Amino acid sequence: MLKLSQLSHVLLATLVSISFAKTVNAEPTATLNVVVNGIHHQKGEICFRVYANEKGFPMSSTSEAQSGCAKINGTSVKKEFSGLKPGTYAVAVVDDQNGDRKLNKDFFGIPKEGFGISKNPTVSIQTGTPKFRDASFVVNKNTTVTIIMKYSLDS
């Protein structure tokens, strides 16, 4: 029969082995850097929503994979999102001037605040709100996307 000290060593070795196995089998993660250019205001924040699928894109504040805001301090803002699983993503941003962290629209549904979408698709009355497939891109490791802020619909 094993002595108590030998049993504790076996137990400790088993626990260490299990923890290393979990580390080796951990899913890889990626980092997404989002750069927003063309900001017109010097107050407020740029709010970001990163979506992992089409559900809720680009307006829902409850279906994004990650989100966050950054204070405006010039005509460009950068925000990093880490811990993302490799996959396909799309990003929507808002130049939030009133602090409500959403895109405000007028009676006709036209944005009253600046906005941007990854891959910078055309946004007009004819095209409507961009689809996830038109704004999505692959994130494998460290990925950077640049979004150009719009303050009106495209012609």
Convert the pLDDT of each residue in 117-129 to its tens digit: 999 999 998 998 9
CA distances from 70 to 33, 67, 85, 115 (A): 13, 10, 23, 14
Confidence (pTM): 0.81
Enclosing H/E stretch for 116: strand 115-117
User: How many Å apart are CA 86 and CA 139, to the nearest integer?
Assistant: 5
Chain centre to alpha carbon of residue 130: 17
Q: What are 60-70's pLDDT values in tens digits?
A: 888 899 999 99
- Encode pLDDT of 128-150 as tens digits: 899 999 999 999 989 999 999 99
What pLDDT, on the 0 to 100 scale, is given for residue 109?
85
Cα–Cα distance for residue pair 48/150, rounded to 1 Å? 14
